Structure 1
């Protein structure tokens, strides 16, 4: 897919969190397994089945791209595993899952190799950085704090921040308002198709897929303007434009 904006138009970068900034499988398998065990009342076979239903491929030992656990919200997981819950029980489960994910997601977070150096390089070049995750905003902030990255980010957006989560355009539009930029000044970076779909729905300037998460190049390439091995490669990719960001809208 051809980019509809040149790289020199990009002034801010909105990152997915899990699979993009942190290693999804190493960070979230244990957390998801514990939540599945709770949902199954301690029945290990049922917990295993719930994990598979949520998107874990036991043979490949990883979560499938765009699966409920890999790409959905806590609300999506609760609805999948507790379809008959009453409204009150559903709300209580969402609170319980959110609280657990905030604390354990931060404690277990494993950064993608080269992450801090890449983010620092992008900030030195003047890019504004944000996180848009289908985790909660509190979860995004807690993970950034645990990894010592909080001061590098301008904005944190969870599924509970904007009106609608990814793949809707709302996270990009929220970031645009927060930074005072236009959507076409923003590059969206993520490891799942829904990240690329968010960029397209919002008319973001660039959609960049990374292979550090759960999606293959074959899955991402039809949706992305570029596919990189990881965010560690992003500074060099953006520098390839060899131009300062521009303020006027230029379409190719």
Structure 2
């Protein structure tokens, strides 16, 4: 069985985000970039399936600028077998919209014929949470989202999902699309020797044009701004004073 894992290059989760002075987006100058954390979890699960001899090959795919090769090489160092970069832009600030990403992934899947797609439930830069669902719809495959547990058996995937009311367990027939949540596993670190080896491994590159997909944006970002600064609280001496303040502000 072949497993395909899409991975995205995003601002490292430990970095404090800065908005560009002109409000056009996030300032990426001298900012550490890394693999989207949810994608790391999806990749870790794919590698574990291979180690359990439930999968023969793990293919990682990244979509964006050429610098996304760094993310792919990290994935190779973690244990992925092959890497594919779909080069869609020269601008590292450009973010390919979910529908275009889903169409590009479908084109790759039509060619590679994986039996399972493991993806992060969302990217931490835009929080769209849409690509996995759109991809399943385009493929006509069953989907299981927000997975916190996954087992494969007899051509089916048994997935425990995190929902508002607790946990829901479903079974879907393979091939399928599964998007993963935080509690599925703890991703491994890529060791330095493996990172050095990954630098020498080939990364296949294709363009959006080769795959016949139009990636022109349909959405326009009008403005990006910092969240409002939280106002300083006020200390009151007792409950009566608190109640008076609440009445004064017409809260009670």
TM-score by shorter chain over 0.5: no
TM-score by length of 2: 0.38
TM-score by length of 1: 0.38
- Of Structure 1 and Structure 2, the greater strand share is in 2
Tell which structure's C-alpha radius of gyration is larger: 2
